[in-house]
Amino acid sequence: MEPTELSMLELGRKLGSGELSSVEAVRACLGRVELFDGQVKAFLEVDREGALAQAEAADRRRAAGKRAGPLDGVPVGLKDLFLTEGLPTTAGSRILEGFVAPYDGTVVKLLRAAGTPILGKLNMDEFAMGSSTENSAFFPTRNPWNLETSPGGSSGGSAAAVAARMVFGALGTDTGGSIRQPAALTGTVGLKPTYGRVSRFGVVAFASSLDQVGPMTRDVPDCAALLQTIAAYDPCDSTSAPVKAPDYLADIEGGVKGMKLGLPREYFELPGMDPEVGGAVEAATRALEKLGAELVPVSLPHTRYALATYYLVAPAEASSNLARYDGVRYGLRAGDVANLLAMYGRTRDQGFGLEVKRRVMLGTYALSAGYYDAYYLKAQKVRTLIKQDFVDAFRTVDAVLSPTSPTPAFRIGEKVSDPLAMYLNDVFTLPCNLAGLPGLSVPCGFTRANLPIGLQILGRPWDEARVLRIGRAFEREHDFHRRSPPLRAS
């Protein structure tokens, strides 16, 4: 077996036993990047020398009996909005092209402390605004399962790199589904933790009340191990919660016998859901029932307002957060301008892409005098109702099941000219962000065209351990997560 076919934990065990070295693992990943990234285009920056140096340090630690942990020496990748000292951090935008981070964000520090070599920075929709990675200012990423299709977004580069075996795991961010939706479309595992579980310090912000950092891996135990590495209270982040993370691997094999799993009517009766997606997810729920879970109908009645609510709250926060990109302090600065105001305007016009401009304008409008109460304030009230729906449901069930995405991977270019069609990709994922809940996507099948399908598992706040346990119970009985994309070297 090639080293790149191992899971993170399997590689960690082989590193610990001396069967493989971290340098060999990094070189194997770099070999996959050289062979396939010209087709997939997952990476914006490959740090070959830095990753090899980190791997050599990991090998020296093991030789000295000072292993940093179970993932010491296991190569990972980062979505390109994590500040990483000495490496470019662009957030997929021209306005930050050439910006080199002066320090590591908190999760990057935690990865370094765990000994994981960072292979490089991965492509994304600009400022995480998108569902296809086509909004990257540099190039679209392609889905390893079918290079004519999208890997989803905004963490499409992270998902594609994991699926194509270029890295063993990666970090993404999820504001409305940007970890879970690309995980579903690429046959990988993606977790959005509870809001506040993982520090956002040193992460380029999109919508601060929604953004959350999470792991993207090939199987559920790896997801748990990577979450364990980054889940820690951080006083540098005012939204970080002082809630101690449990041992996510301790009970992950405990199964679902006796659990009550909710099936929300509103999620399964969506017009336009692909029938193959619906069939695969229904089969997955029946499989969990056979494993001892009880399936319970539940209602989330305000779900139908979630899309509209999200597209008021998120753009409003983006409008505020992106005001800092003015050409004065860092990033792009337009030249040949007559005055400061003209420099602001031209810098932002040249630096921001169409989708970012669309959302900034929408958010600025929603926050403007005379419209705040009618739009933003009302959206926040509806957000409370959506959260209450989940509170009510969790009084009777342990978790909620649904499709992750209403369709499998779509063709690149298919939805670019129709923003609403693109936004509908996140119809099942964004209520979780509005409510601040943990959500997991696990592979649950394939279409006749051999495109992956994802099952979404939503849990109570701070209950990632149960969500992971449910995902693992399903995963153990199936081989969907073990299948590899049909990539061929060009």
Euclidean distance between CA atoms 442 and 184, whole angstroms: 7
The alpha helices in 66-118, defined as continuous H runs, are: 106-114
Residue 270 has what pLDDT?
Answer: 80
Q: Hey, what amino acid is at 242? A: P
Euclidean distance between CA atoms 61 and 404, whole angstroms: 40
Average pLDDT over residues 213-238: 98
Question: Quick check: is 21 catalytic?
Answer: no
Residue 479 has what pLDDT?
Answer: 95
Give, for 278, the enclosing helix (H) or strand (E): helix 275-290
Per the structure block, which two tokens stand in for 117?
A: 């070599």
Euclidean distance between CA atoms 4 and 118, whole angstroms: 15
Give yes or no for a contact between 396 and 298, defined as CB atoms under 8 angstroms apart: yes
Euclidean distance between CA atoms 59 and 117, whole angstroms: 11
State yes or no: pLDDT of 311 exceeds 80.
Answer: yes
Residue pLDDT, tens place only, 332-383: 999 889 999 999 999 999 999 999 999 999 999 999 988 998 999 999 999 9
Euclidean distance between CA atoms 275 and 447, whole angstroms: 10
Average pLDDT over residues 154-177: 98
Average pLDDT over residues 63-86: 97
Strand order in the sheet with 43-46: 43-46, 118-122, 76-79, 169-173, 213-217, 189-192, 439-446, 452-459, 399-403, 260-264, 294-298
Residue 50 has what pLDDT?
Answer: 98
Residue ranges with strand state E in 47-136? 76-79, 118-122
Residue 453 has what pLDDT?
Answer: 98
Number of helical (H) and strand (E) elements in the chain, helices listed first: 16, 11
Angle between helices 22-40 and 48-63 (to 10 degrees): 160
Give yes or no for a contact between 405 and 278, defined as CB atoms under 8 angstroms apart: no
**What confidence category does residue 431 fall into, taking pLDDT thresholds of 50, 70 and 90?**
very high
Q: What CATH class does 3-252 carry?
A: alpha beta
CA atoms within 13 A on the CB side of 88: 19
Give yes or no for a contact between 487 and 42, defined as CB atoms under 8 angstroms apart: no
DSSP 376: I
State yes or no: pLDDT of 55 exceeds 80.
Answer: yes
**Domain boundaries of the chain, sorted by first residue:** 3-252
The active-site residue out of 178, 199, 319, 441 is 178
CA atoms within 13 A on the CB side of 306: 27
Residue 370 has what pLDDT?
Answer: 86
**What confidence category does residue 17 fall into, taking pLDDT thresholds of 50, 70 and 90?**
very high
Residue 419 has what pLDDT?
Answer: 85
C-alpha closest to that of 178 among 310, 299, 335, 342: 310
Q: What is the mean pLDDT of the chain?
A: 96
**What confidence category does residue 330 fall into, taking pLDDT thresholds of 50, 70 and 90?**
confident
Residue pLDDT, tens place only, 432-466: 999 999 999 999 999 999 999 999 999 999 999 99
- Calculate the CA 468 to chain-centre distance: 15
∠ Cα 142 146 147 (to 5°): 40
Q: DSSP readout, 153-217?
A: SSSHHHHHHHHTTSSSEEEEE-SSSTTHHHHHHHT-EEEEPPTTSS--TTB--S-TTT--EEEEE
Question: Quick check: is 132 catalytic?
Answer: no
Euclidean distance between CA atoms 8 and 222, whole angstroms: 6
Residue pLDDT, tens place only, 167-207: 999 999 999 999 999 999 999 999 999 999 999 999 999 99
**What confidence category does residue 329 fall into, taking pLDDT thresholds of 50, 70 and 90?**
confident
The active-site residue out of 22, 132, 150, 154 is 154
- State percent of the chain over pLDDT 70: 100
The active-site residue out of 41, 79, 109, 192 is 79
Residue pLDDT, tens place only, 263-297: 999 998 888 899 999 999 999 999 999 999 999 99
Residue 344 has what pLDDT?
Answer: 94
C-alpha closest to that of 404 among 450, 437, 452: 452
